[in-house]
Amino acid sequence: MAVPRYPSTVGGVLTRSARRVPDRLALVFADRRWTYAELDTAAGRVAARLLELGLEHGDRVAAFGKNSDAYLLLYLGCARAGLVHVPVNFNARGEELAYLLSQSTPSAVFVDPALDEYVEASSAHRGTLRDKGSGLDVLAWALDADGQVHDEVGVTDDDLVQLLYTSGTTSRAKGAMLTHRALVHEYASCVAALDITAEDVLLHALPLYHSAQMHVFLLPSLAVGATNYLVEAPDLDDVFTRVPRDGVTSLFFPPTVWVGVANHPGLTSADLGTLRKAYYGASIMPVPVLEKLRERLPDVGFYNCFGQSEIGPLATVLRPEEHDERPDSVGRPVLFVETRVVDSAMNDVPPGSLGEVIYRSPQLCAGYWDKPEETEEAFAGGWFHSGDLVRADEQGYLFVVDRIKDVVNTGGVLVASREVEDALYAHPSVAEVAVVGLPHERWIEAITAVVVLSAPVEADELIAFAAKTLAPHKVPKAVHVVDELPKNASGKLLKRDLRQRFGGSGSAVR
């Protein structure tokens, strides 16, 4: 007799929790509260209705909407039905949106009603994510007490479950093909590295179309039976209210939002006594900001989460007890990730030397959707090439220097933008800063700082301040003051936009 093989699937993650803790509160959004049993049943109803449309195994289903319980249920329903969920940045418009909806070739598109006007591409099945009385409405399906419930069948862990489009901060977005197996491994890595437990109460405020909020925090917390509060966006006044009201123990924000927390006038008076874990990631955290947060929140453990969409996205973590000695590190690899730091020929570089971090892991995507050349390049030599310039110390802790494409080549010398940014963040009048290289006849690239100020200060004063701690060739040649820095919805700085705005091109000079 052949021993049956039991696949490890995304749908099974929720079902196991529902059987273990059926009556525990799983999710709260707006005025709707879902126990684990209710959420699992709702996912089965959504799966059944998707299949009733005639969608077949492996068909893509696009989701263009903001955070909601319906958004989560569409993902879970797709997973259970053997379909491929395609999250689409809700800020995408025009040509960018058309590209995402055409490149992924979806058989169905579900849209928030408020965003419907932006979707020009037609689909055989066009539905809504919110309950507006439409016949193709995810929330209506989920709430239909008479609706059929689909039990997962025929789904393997090698099947694709999501096309996760990269942020596209340096080039056009690519659809990373994530399998059930990859994401379930990633969820296990998150639970272990981030100390996620059933007693946690998490507030999810970043977009679910982005891999960090969905796959590092929401799904791993559902896997362990934690309680989750979901909101559309990270309004800090609202966050300060919700933490004591709902007993929130865990928060995730990208550094750009944590900068706002550190500078918020209400931070000192806010009641954050239930908060125990603070996670940051998606871009580099300025050390001065981290130090300010740790000082003002002494009872909170901070976790630095690092990775990228292609690996699910968590690759390394710096835990709270490791922050004192290495506050600028992104930590060490998580449970199912192996790393190397290599030169351009894929030779390992010695500790302390700069190189590109490359990955080998069951968490990795199966390549890029309909982009065989980019896939071959990314996986050259059997490892995934991250594009991140790092160094590692003797104990294996990684320190991110920059995205390779964001390193500034000034006078033939490579300068990490992060080093210049940290120097400027130490000035009390600097609220936010981004450093880019702009074309220059003499210097190849001129180091240029773009700053948001919290108090008036002259550009010359900022340059002189940076010169106190930086080598002469690292000091900005120019400083531009702006009202806000361009960011995508996940909080990542869009340095290509700054290069274009201030006289360069979207790409670095090289």
Bond prior to 220 in cis (omega within 30° of 0):
no
Please tell me the predicted confidence (pLDDT) of residue 408. Answer: 83
CA end-to-end distance (rounded Å), the chain: 61
**Mean of pLDDT values over 368-381:** 96
State mean pLDDT over 275-297.
Answer: 90
Band of residue 491 on the pLDDT scale cut at 50, 70, 90: low
d(C-alpha 426, C-alpha 462), whole Å: 10
Stretch 150-177: mean pLDDT, rounded?
Answer: 87
What is the SS3 assignment for 488?
A: coil
The reported pLDDT for the residue numbered 22 is: 98
Across the chain, mean pLDDT equals 92
The residue type at 355:
G
Q: pLDDT tier at 506 (50, 70, 90 boundaries)?
A: very low
Higher pLDDT, 454 or 189: 189
- The residue-averaged pLDDT of 278-290 equals 87
Q: CA-to-CA distance for 483 and 432, rounded, in angstroms?
A: 10
Query: Class of 17-22+35-179 per CATH?
Result: alpha beta
Residue 76: pLDDT band by 50, 70, 90 thresholds? Answer: very high
User: Where in 441-500 does DSSP place strands (E)?
Assistant: 444-453, 478-481
Nearest by Cα to 190 from 210, 226, 218, 168: 218
* The amino acid at 128: T
pTM of the model: 0.85
Residue at 163: amino acid letter: L
The mean pLDDT value for 164-181 works out to 82
Q: Is the pLDDT of residue 162 over 60?
A: yes
How far apart CA 223 and CA 206 sit, in angstroms, is: 19
What is the three-class DSSP state of 50? helix
Tell me which of 206-210, 219-223, 329-333, 410-414 is least confident: 410-414
User: Between β-strands 277-281 and 227-230, what pairing exists: parallel, antiparallel or unpaired?
Assistant: unpaired
pLDDT, tens only, 19-67 = 999 999 999 999 999 999 999 999 999 999 999 999 999 999 999 999 9
Strands 125-128 and 108-111: parallel
Give the whole-number percent of the chain exceeding pLDDT 90. 76
Class of domain 407-501: alpha beta
Residue spans per domain, the chain: 17-22+35-179, 407-501
Confidence band for 200, pLDDT divided at 50, 70 and 90: very high
In the block, tokens 């750009």 appear at: 256
Q: Which of 2, 147, 9 has its CA nearest to residue 78?
A: 9
- Spatial distance between the Cα atoms of 86 and 109, rounded to a whole number of angstroms: 9
| E-state strands within 191-329 | 201-204, 227-230, 250-253, 277-281, 301-307, 314-318
- Average pLDDT for residues 137-158, to the nearest whole number? 96
- Given this model, what pLDDT does residue 507 score? 42
Q: What is the 3-state secondary structure (H, E, C) of 28-47?
A: EECCEEEEHHHHHHHHHHHH
Which pLDDT value is given to residue 452?
94
Q: Measuring CA to CA, which residue among 34, 9, 11, 10 is closest to residue 22?
A: 34
More confident residue, 508 or 463: 463
Contact 208, 218 (CB under 8 A): yes
